[in-house]
Structure 1
């Protein structure tokens, strides 16, 4: 009976939830889901102040990448890959910067001006800020 009453801390409730993170110099604190999709789809290339957006992602097969695509973008990871491949092969754009671990994601977002990425809530520190998705 206790197991039925106790809520699970998964998804967006616990420390394992995925959050969009940005470099501390980014002035915005909230973003629409559509704008976030445009950024990670590599269609929106500059912040409101005109500075370039630097997008960082984990490998396609990373569990956190899947969670981010589904929870924050409401799309499947293969849809992101398809959009990136179209840009690359058509010569009209580039893929996001690939990082190999969550630690590398945290460091790159914290040290790269204009950076955006995603992390588990438990891995977020004062060197980066959370961007809330509306």
Structure 2
């Protein structure tokens, strides 16, 4: 069992490791990739991938920041329970066609993979075993 201190250090390291720009270039490349364009076209006006991804990332980073600064006691429970629904693809199932594709886009893969790991740590620190 990993200690709280270990998890907080891992959360800090992950947070530091993903400093940088939002992966707009990779999102553009996804939309231009032949095997994905039809999926994006089917979404039409519902294609809000950048906004939905930003919302997901910011919820995780906000909760992580609260944990790292010792202010988790007033963390918004709606965000915690929203993130407890699962990863990005569980929360936004309209993008499930990207589930087996995202690792091919390095900037996105790095940011998404690290943030997903942060989500797991955040939830393990904020929820009990029964709530997970």
What interval of TM-score do these two structures reach, taking the shorter chain for normalisation? under 0.3
Q: Which has the higher strand share?
A: 1
Q: Which has the higher helix share?
A: 2
Structure of higher RCO (CA pairs closer than 8 Å, 6+ residues apart):
1
TM-score in terms of structure 2 length: 0.27
